[in-house]
């Protein structure tokens, strides 16, 4: 075991870390941050909260109100879907405390800051081996990837996880290349890895160990991992995690640990039919490269050319490390059916490194080609010889940037048509653009297109960066305007639905949920009332046969499918004093679960988009007055009377409530 802990891959002396790197003073870095500010910190409130955002927010609010910062809980239970270690919840809670609000900005702020920090880290990492053009392109490619813009503007866990894991990998490789002391490399890398583990679980150490282990083996330096410095890093990581893990274990034991670390894993891979599996294997890589990494992934086609790969030899170590990170992580998601491309977001920064190296090589090729043109202008044969020595890429940078310049002008023309049509009260479908807004976007598109066109084949570093920046602004601006507007227009407005519901309910009326209620519904309810929705669960009863009318009903957690009998139901004591109920499981309103008939008030659709995810919604119902409860209880058995009410059972879906906006449709009722 190496006791010195020195990292000298080239056989030289260990270099010292600079207190203030020179690249922090370079103007392209601040131009990159300005683009991040425009794309990510503008229109933060759009689209409305959706997906897992409100789940993370509710856990953070629960931590603040209860003082329990160890166990993530929702509606009082730690066993909820997509439960994860608490670092992201802590970040959201800190954002809420800092801003003094639990609004949408506080929920999304940690992810926005994560994107900004990643842009700085990527610029600094790439600047170690690339020019300012390549470093700027690396950061710009990442922050304007389609899926990064989609999730980076939300309050999801993916971006904080990416920040910690990618920072750990990039810091380790920077230290390795610059020959820092191993006593700095390993502990700091494991400190960052701790944040990744405490954000999303065991995915992080697998990617970290596989990438670095293979990298050391390929470079013939596996002994570098056998050092006391490495042991100290592992010990630091283990001790920090144990500070949370031990109190968590004392509260929930092994079942809690299994749930928080592996609860998401069991949700995928269930469909193993050969057709589904082959379809997933085919579609996943195409969606990843062509969709999620777009538009910059188009430039990676140059890697298909062997001569062009040889031109990238000066950047071999950066490409090798980034490639290993992608290769080792890709199968863990690709080979499991039902997984999504977002599960690989933690290594998207390494894909940006490959794109940055490609753009750097393209830029250097343009410079080399321009430099030899004067001397070859009078000799055609020499020019042909030069092309054989300096082969052209498959997709030159000038063609790539020039194409987007034309697209920007086309977008400006479309915006002009929409603006004129709106001004003349001649709407084109659902598209309408206010004149001032349309004129601004039209002028911006024209200016960005001109900048890209002028700078598309320049050899000047500053002009090349300007052309790339214009391209990034066009892509990011299109997303933050057109795409975000489309998302907003199609999103379910759960906030408006809950607000309208509360206006119709008696003042101070309490909603109690039968089982779990959708997290977005509860968050919107809490924001407007300052109260959580109290949850009650069915209690075990003596099993009894299902009636013939519901013999084919879905079983769920409360039905034993083998015996076909109800094993739990709600009691009169649980419903005592309650008037309004809500649930995400409409079967709980059926008379086989509820000892008293209730009246459906409305349905709130909770899917991401209107008309989508019909299984996601909340049914709100009203219980009868207390004397009706007493009359029901006169049976003495606690079971519902069979001939008391000829009205349809409460579980049967009646007309949806008329008090809600368009998102409350019959199709949105959970089945």
DSSP codes joined into one string, 538-554? PEEEEEEEPPGGGTTS-
Q: Are residues 49 and 193 in the same domain?
A: yes
Q: Are residues 522 and 621 in the same domain?
A: yes
**Structure-token pair, residue 192:** 């960052």
Q: Are residues 332 and 405 in the same domain?
A: no
Is 641 a member of any domain? yes
* DSSP three-state, residue 191: helix
Is 5 a member of any domain? no
Cβ 532 vs Cβ 522: under 8 Å: yes
With a CB cutoff of 8 Å and minimum separation 6, the contacts of 361 are 302, 308, 311, 312, 315
Is 273 a member of any domain? yes
Distance CA(192)–CA(214), nearest Å, equals 20
pLDDT recorded at residue 419: 87
Picking from 363, 388, 423, the residue at the C-terminal end of a domain is 363
Q: Are residues 524 and 471 in the same domain?
A: no
Cα radius of gyration (the chain) = 29
Distance CA(204)–CA(75), nearest Å, equals 29
Q: Which residues pair with 534 in a beta bridge?
A: 512
Q: Are residues 205 and 351 in the same domain?
A: yes
Residue 579 CB neighbours (<10 A): 18
Tens-digit pLDDT profile for residues 2-18: 444 445 443 344 555 56
Report the DSSP pairing between strands 599-605 and 534-536. unpaired
Picking from 314, 348, 363, the residue at the C-terminal end of a domain is 363
Q: Using alpha carbons, list the distances in angstroms from residue 474 to 44, 156, 409, 434, 479.
A: 18, 25, 10, 20, 9
Q: Are residues 350 and 483 in the same domain?
A: no
pLDDT recorded at residue 271: 64
Distance CA(218)–CA(226), nearest Å, equals 16
Report the DSSP pairing between strands 580-583 and 511-514. parallel
136: alpha, beta or left? (left if phi > 0; alpha if psi -120 to 50): alpha
pLDDT recorded at residue 17: 57
Distance CA(479)–CA(486), nearest Å, equals 10
Q: Are residues 114 and 47 in the same domain?
A: yes
Burial 185-220, CB ≥16 within 10 A → b, else e: bbbbbbbbbbbbbbbbbebbbebbebbbebbbeeee
Does an H or E element contain 581, and which? Answer: strand 580-583
* Number of structural domains in the chain: 3
43: alpha, beta or left? (left if phi > 0; alpha if psi -120 to 50): left
* DSSP three-state, residue 649: coil
Question: What is the residue-wise DSSP string for 355-387?
Answer: HHHHHHHHHHHHHHHHHHHHHHTT-HHHHHHHH
Number of helical (H) and strand (E) elements in the chain, helices listed first = 23, 8
With a CB cutoff of 8 Å and minimum separation 6, the contacts of 367 are 459
Report the DSSP pairing between strands 559-560 and 565-569. antiparallel
Angle between helices 316-334 and 348-376 (to 10 degrees): 140
Distance CA(115)–CA(155), nearest Å, equals 12
Q: Which residues pair with 74 in a beta bridge?
A: 77
pLDDT recorded at residue 38: 97
Could you give the count of Cα atoms lying within 13 Å of 460 in the half-sphere of its Cβ? 6
Q: Using alpha carbons, list the distances in angstroms from residue 559 to 517, 608, 637, 667.
A: 19, 29, 20, 25
Distance CA(80)–CA(333), nearest Å, equals 23
pLDDT recorded at residue 437: 87
Place of tokens 């998401």: 264
pLDDT recorded at residue 21: 85
**Structure-token pair, residue 472:** 């990034």
Q: Are residues 457 and 510 in the same domain?
A: no
Q: Where are the alpha helices (DSSP H) in 12-86?
A: 27-40, 53-66
Q: Which residues pair with 602 in a beta bridge?
A: 620
Q: Using alpha carbons, list the distances in angstroms from residue 421 to 250, 418, 430, 431, 443.
A: 65, 5, 12, 9, 17
Stated length of the chain: 671
Is 232 a member of any domain? yes
Place of tokens 């609010």: 61
Q: Are residues 263 and 342 in the same domain?
A: yes
Distance CA(132)–CA(138), nearest Å, equals 10
Does an H or E element contain 136, and which? Answer: helix 132-143
Q: Which residues pair with 609 in a beta bridge?
A: 491
Is 146 a member of any domain? yes
Sign of the CA dihedral with 168 first, then 173, 176, and 179 last: negative
For 605, the domain range is: 494-540+566-668
Place of tokens 């494991």: 190
Is 391 a member of any domain? no
Q: Are residues 323 and 401 in the same domain?
A: no
With a CB cutoff of 8 Å and minimum separation 6, the contacts of 24 are 124
Is 386 a member of any domain? no
pLDDT profile of the chain (671 residues), mean per 10: 47 54 94 98 93 94 95 88 90 97 96 98 96 98 97 96 98 95 97 97 95 96 94 97 96 90 69 83 93 95 91 94 97 89 95 97 90 54 49 91 97 91 76 84 96 93 97 97 92 92 90 93 95 92 48 38 62 88 91 87 88 82 67 48 39 35 36 31
pLDDT recorded at residue 270: 62
Is 156 a member of any domain? yes
Distance CA(122)–CA(357), nearest Å, equals 12
Q: Are residues 142 and 287 in the same domain?
A: yes
Q: Are residues 241 and 148 in the same domain?
A: yes
Report the DSSP pairing between strands 511-514 and 534-536. parallel
């Amino acid at each position: 075991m190496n006791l010195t802990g020195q990292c000298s891959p080239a056989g030289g002396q260990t270099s010292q870390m600079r207190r203030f790197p020179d690249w922090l003073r370079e103007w392209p870095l601040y131009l990159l941050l300005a683009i991040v500010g425009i794309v990510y910190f503008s229109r933060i409130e759009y689209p409305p909260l959706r997906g897992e955002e409100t789940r993370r927010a509710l856990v953070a609010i629960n931590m603040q109100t209860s003082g329990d910062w160890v166990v993530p809980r929702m509606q009082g239970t730690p066993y909820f879907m997509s439960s994860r270690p608490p670092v992201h919840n802590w970040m959201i809670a800190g954002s809420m405390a800092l801003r003094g609000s639990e609004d949408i900005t506080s929920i999304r702020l940690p992810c926005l800051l994560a994107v900004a920090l990643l842009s700085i880290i990527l610029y600094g990492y790439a600047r170690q081996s690339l020019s300012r053009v390549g470093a700027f392109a690396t950061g710009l490619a990442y922050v304007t990837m389609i899926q990064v813009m989609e999730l980076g503007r939300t309050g999801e866990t993916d971006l904080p996880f990416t920040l910690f894991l990618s920072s750990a990998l990039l810091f380790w490789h920077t230290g390795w290349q610059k020959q820092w002391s191993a006593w700095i490399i390993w502990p700091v890398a494991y400190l960052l890895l701790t944040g990744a583990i405490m954000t999303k679980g065991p995915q992080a150490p697998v990617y970290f160990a596989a990438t670095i282990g293979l990298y050391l083996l390929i470079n013939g330096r596996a002994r570098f991992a056998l050092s006391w410095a490495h042991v100290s890093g592992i010990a630091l990581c283990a001790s920090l995690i144990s500070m949370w893990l031990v109190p968590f274990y004392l509260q929930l034991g092994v079942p809690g640990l299994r749930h928080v670390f592996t609860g998401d894993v069991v949700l995928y891979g269930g469909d193993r039919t050969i057709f589904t599996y082959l379809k997933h294997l085919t579609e996943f890589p195409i969606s990843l490269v062509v969709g999620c990494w777009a538009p910059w992934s188009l430039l990676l086609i140059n890697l298909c050319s062997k001569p062009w790969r040889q031109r990238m030899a000066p950047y071999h170590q950066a490409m090798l490390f980034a490639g290993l990170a992608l290769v080792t992580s890709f199968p863990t998601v690709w080979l499991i059916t039902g997984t999504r491309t977002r599960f690989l977001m933690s290594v998207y920064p390494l894909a940006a490194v490959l794109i940055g190296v490609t753009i750097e090589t393209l830029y250097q090729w343009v410079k080399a080609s321009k430099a030899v043109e004067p001397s070859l202008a009078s000799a055609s044969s020499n020019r042909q010889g030069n092309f054989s020595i300096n082969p052209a890429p498959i997709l030159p940078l000038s063609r790539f940037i020039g194409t987007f310049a034309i697209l920007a002008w086309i977008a400006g023309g479309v915006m002009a048509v929409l603006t004129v049509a709106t001004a003349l009260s001649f709407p084109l479908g659902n598209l309408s653009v206010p004149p001032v807004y349309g004129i601004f976007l039209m002028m911006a598109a024209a200016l960005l297109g001109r900048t890209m066109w002028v700078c598309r084949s320049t050899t000047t570093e500053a002009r090349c960066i300007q052309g790339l920046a214009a391209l990034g602004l066009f892509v990011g601006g299109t997303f933050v305007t057109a795409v975000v507007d489309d998302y907003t227009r199609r999103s379910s407005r759960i906030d408006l639905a809950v607000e309208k519901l509360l206006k119709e309910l008696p003042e101070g009326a309490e909603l109690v949920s039968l089982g779990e209620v959708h997290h977005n519904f509860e968050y919107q309810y809490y924001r407007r009332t300052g109260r959580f929705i109290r949850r009650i669960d069915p209690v075990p009863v003596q099993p009894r046969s299902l009636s013939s009318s519901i013999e084919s009903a879905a079983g769920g957690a409360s039905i034993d499918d083998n015996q076909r009998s109800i094993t739990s139901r709600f009691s009169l004591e649980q419903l005592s004093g309650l008037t309004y109920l809500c649930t995400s499981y409409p079967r709980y309103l059926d008379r086989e679960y509820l000892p008293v008939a209730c009246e459906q008030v409305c349905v709130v659709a909770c899917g991401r988009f209107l008309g989508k995810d019909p299984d996601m919604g909340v049914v709100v119902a009203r219980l009868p007055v207390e004397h009706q409860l007493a009359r029901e209880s006169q049976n003495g058995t606690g079971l519902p009377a069979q001939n008391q009410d000829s009205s349809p059972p409460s579980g049967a879906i009646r007309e949806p409530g008329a008090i809600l906006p368009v998102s409350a449709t019959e199709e949105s009722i959970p089945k």
